[in-house]
């Protein structure tokens, strides 16, 4: 279970970083650009902390986004302006809900106490992202 969590969570983090970077160049709204920058900053920090934890446990993280996430990155990479803003906002809300589920499962049922605690602590950041995403303007 812990291995699955680390792989899924790190892949999701890499996807959020890639999408956040896209927002900097493709978004039409300054709110979306700012949110994307926040996602890059936060998920980079989360993945750095996760890498340290995984290394201390002899566990491996994902080295790239999952194939379905790669398709989403590619699709959004072809969009700009309001089309990008709308698709990015919708995607981030869905991904945040999915990530919260992954972290919640690990926080309550994970086998390793340190990994469980990491998941529990990180959930507050993910919930904040969800709240921020929900406050983005409707496009």
Measure the CA–CA gap between 107 and 116, rounded to whole angstroms: 4
Over residues 107-134, the pLDDT tens digits come to: 999 999 999 999 999 999 999 998 888 7
* Helical H segments across 78-134, by residue range: 81-109, 113-134
Spatial CA neighbour of 28 closest among 72, 88, 69: 88
Q: How many whole angstroms separate alpha carbon 7 and alpha carbon 109?
A: 16
Nearest to 76, CA basis, from 88, 66, 90, 68: 88
Long-range contacts of 111-115 (CB under 8 A, 24+ apart): 111/1, 111/2, 112/2, 112/57, 114/53, 114/56, 114/57, 115/2, 115/5, 115/6, 115/53, 115/57
Question: 23-34 pLDDT, tens per residue?
Answer: 999 999 999 999
pLDDT tens string 59-114: 999 999 999 999 999 999 999 999 999 999 999 989 988 999 999 999 999 999 99
The pLDDT assigned to 21 comes to: 97
Dist CA 11 CA 9 (whole Å): 6
Q: Which two tokens stand for residue 94?
A: 């869905």
């Amino acid at each position: 279970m812990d291995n699955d969590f680390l792989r899924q969570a790190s892949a999701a983090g890499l996807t959020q970083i890639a999408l956040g970077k896209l927002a900097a160049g493709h978004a039409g709204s300054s709110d979306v650009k700012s949110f994307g920058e926040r996602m890059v900053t936060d998920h980079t920090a989360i993945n750095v902390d996760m890498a340290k934890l995984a290394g201390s446990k002899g566990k491996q993280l994902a080295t790239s986004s999952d194939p379905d996430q790669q398709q989403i990155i590619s699709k959004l990479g072809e969009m700009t302006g309001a089309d990008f803003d709308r698709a990015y906002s919708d995607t981030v809300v869905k991904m945040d809900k999915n990530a919260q589920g992954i972290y919640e499962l690990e926080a309550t049922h994970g086998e390793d106490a340190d990994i469980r605690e990491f998941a529990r602590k990180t959930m507050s950041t993910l919930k904040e992202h969800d709240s921020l995403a929900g406050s983005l303007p409707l496009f």
